[in-house]
Amino acid sequence: MPEHHIVKVEIPALSEYVAVIRLAISGVATRMHFNIEEIEDIKIAVSEACTNVVQHAYPNQTDGKINLVATLSDEKLDIAISDSGKGFDAKNPVSDKQDGSNGVNFGLGLGLTFIRSLMDSSEIISEPNKGTTIRMTKNAPEKKVEEPLTNS
């Protein structure tokens, strides 16, 4: 692989498009030879970040967007999921109850737990009224020892 490749995907911030992002990032992760478990981890982490946008970023808007930028290199897969929605105070991101008491919305807290647990590193950058970016990284799988080329 060259030094790095960049894949960009933009979807409407609507719940029915989150599966599209999962398919896209699954393809990217497969391209990097992550194993099935690692691909599932990446899919969940990316999906949680997008779900957060769908649920929280654009409360009074139907034309909001989610942007995914995946940077592939030999060492790692860097992913950034961004919106230009309402943002929040990144020092206090957990605003929803964690026990399911607020119905089907399980809140950003558990989504963040998944992202932190399933990826090698992550960070949230957010500012009220300017939007949010969640960055996450999965280290590349160890390279398999390639068969030496032989002269025939």
Which residue ranges make up the site for other proteins (CB under 8 A)? 15-16, 18-20, 22-23, 36-37, 40, 43-44, 47-48, 51, 54-55, 99-101, 103-107, 110-111, 113-114, 117-118
Compare residues 24 and 77 and give the one whose CB is closer to other proteins. Answer: 24
Nearest distance in Å: CB 120, other proteins: 15
> Which class for 148: exposed (0-12), middle (13-18), buried (19 or more C-beta within 10 A)?
exposed
Compare residues 51 and 122 and give the one whose CB is closer to other proteins. Answer: 51
User: Which residues in 2-152 belong to E strands, given as ranges?
Assistant: 4-12, 65-73, 76-83, 121-127, 131-139
Compare residues 41 and 70 and give the one whose CB is closer to other proteins. Answer: 41
User: Which one, of 76, 90, 87, 18, lies nearest residue 47 by Cα?
Assistant: 18
